Amino acid sequence: MENIIGQLLTFLSYVVFGISRFKKNKKDILLYDNISRFFAIAAFAVLKTYAGIKNTIYVLVRNYVGDKVKNNSKKVKFLSFIIMLIILFIMYLFDKIDISIICIALCGITNLYGVIMCDEQGIRLWGMIGSIFYAIFLFATANLVGGICEIICFIVSLLSYIKYAKKAN
In order, the DSSP letters of 88-114 are HHHHHTTSPP-HHHHHHHHHHHHHHHH
User: At residue 81, does pLDDT exceed 70?
Assistant: yes
Condensed to tens digits (0 to 9), the pLDDT of residues 110-162 reads 999 999 999 999 999 999 999 999 899 888 888 787 788 889 989 999 999 99
User: Measured between alpha carbons, how far is 114 from 129 in angstroms, rounded to an integer?
Assistant: 10
Domain ranges in the chain? 2-168
Instruction: Provide the 10 A C-beta neighbour count for residue 156.
Output: 21
- Percent over 90 (pLDDT), the chain: 67
E runs forming strands in the chain: none
User: Measured between alpha carbons, how far is 1 from 88 in angstroms, rounded to an integer?
Assistant: 33
User: Measured between alpha carbons, how far is 118 from 141 in angstroms, rounded to an integer?
Assistant: 30
Condensed to tens digits (0 to 9), the pLDDT of residues 34-59 reads 999 999 999 989 988 877 788 889 99
Instruction: Give the H/E segment covering residue 63.
Output: helix 50-68
Integer Rg of the chain from CA: 15
User: Measured between alpha carbons, how far is 44 from 150 in angstroms, rounded to an integer?
Assistant: 15
